[in-house]
Amino acid sequence: MNHTVFQIDPADSRFTDTFARFFTDCGEYELFSDCDTPYFAVFSDIDRTHCTGLLTFLISENESFTEAEVAAFVLPDYRRQGIFTALCGTAYHKIKAQYPDCMLTGIFPDFLKKCALYGGTAYTEYLMMLTAENASMAAPALCTANRDILPDSAACSNIHSTITSSPAKDFNSCNDNFLYETCFSDDEQDFLLYRGEEDEPCAVCSLDYENGFTNLYGVYVDEDCRGQGIGTLLLAHLIPAYFKNHNLPLILNVRSTNTAAMQLYRHCGFEITSSVEFSYFTALPQ
């Protein structure tokens, strides 16, 4: 069988029925892609109506590197015929052509670690969880760690709310020199830490509320403020404010390569509940 890889626009109505059949056949497969990035698909016949495999990827960029997180799936009846290799090989060269320094990563099952595409372990991604009980146990250590940090007043509020300085309340006896207010908007997502009367926040993070948990993500500290314990300070305010009104655990994802974040979350009481190993893709001849 010849495996021709097509780069397609998933919004193209010509392929709607094809994808509908594909996802019906493959079951629980989560599709993701950068909003500007087409999918790659393999079709088994000349009229392009029978999709046997699909690859999507998400491009992320930061100060130090660009990464393409790849997810590829081949229908069970068509596996071990070279379709996965054809998909990944085509995607590798096309992504590299646009992002030469980009590293391609993905989850490799054990049986795929012997294939030519496998380039070794890139990092481990951990799922960490914080319960109300663990947060209460970690609170004294957080307060001690944050004494004398940010001698100016500070304010915490939601980005969609009006920031108002008010007399500091007692969050587990944390530093009384801070002025803050937790003002969550209707979607209750963003939490910001302001330094004194500065207009821009020095640290931010977001909350995404789900049925059985709340996802903590986007923890970011301004480059000029790093190494001063401000990330710890942000979470020292956020965590008790969250558990004051919610019982669901906080969860987050963090990479093994982000040692500072790992240390911060452990300090706040988060525990590892599971992990997934991501591996590098290597180049194949075109």
pTM above 0.95, yes or no: no
As a whole number of angstroms, the distance between CA 111 and CA 130 comes to 34
Higher local confidence (pLDDT), 74 or 149: 74
DSSP conformational letter for 112: G
Instruction: Check whether 31 has a pLDDT greater than 50.
Output: yes
Determine the pLDDT at residue 181.
34
DSSP state letter for 172: T
Over the stretch 159-200, which tens digit does the pLDDT of each residue have? 322 222 222 333 333 333 333 333 333 344 677 777 766 777
Distance CA 155, CA 2 (A): 62
Write out pLDDT tens, residues 58-109.
888 766 678 888 888 888 888 888 888 888 888 888 888 888 888 899 888 8
One fold for both 4-106 and 127-276? yes
Q: Which fold has domain 4-106?
A: Aminopeptidase (3.40.630)
Question: What is the residue whose two structure tokens read 């000029």?
Answer: 224
Q: Report the distance separating Cα 159 and Cα 150, nearest Å.
A: 20
* CATH 3.30.450.20 given to domain 127-276: no
Average pLDDT for 225-236 = 80
Q: What is the mean pLDDT of the chain?
A: 73
What token pair was written down for 40?
């790659």
Average pLDDT (3-20) is 69
Contacts with 55 (C-beta within 8 Å, 6 or more apart), sequence order: 39, 40, 41, 70, 71, 72, 73, 87, 88, 91
d(CA 125, CA 272): 10
pLDDT band at 55 (very low <50, low <70, confident <90, very high): confident
DSSP per-residue string spanning 7-67:
EE-TT-GGGHHHHHHHHHHH-S------TT--EEEEESSTTS--EEEEEEEEEEE-SS-EE
Domain extent listing, the chain: 4-106, 127-276
Contact 265, 254 (CB under 8 A): yes
Helices (H), 99-229: 132-145
* Strands of the 66-74 sheet, one edge to the other: 4-8, 39-43, 51-61, 66-74, 103-106, 271-281, 118-130, 250-255, 214-221, 201-209, 190-195, 154-157
User: 1 pLDDT band (50/70/90 cuts)?
Assistant: low
pLDDT value for 128: 96
40 versus 257: the higher-pLDDT residue is 257
Q: Are 50 and 18 in contact (CB under 8 A)?
A: yes
Pairing of strands 250-255, 214-221: parallel
116 pLDDT exceeds 90? no
When pLDDT is cut at 50, 70 and 90, the band that residue 147 belongs to is very low
What's residue 43's pLDDT?
66
Nearest to 42 by CA among 93, 77, 7, 94: 7
Residue type, 232: T
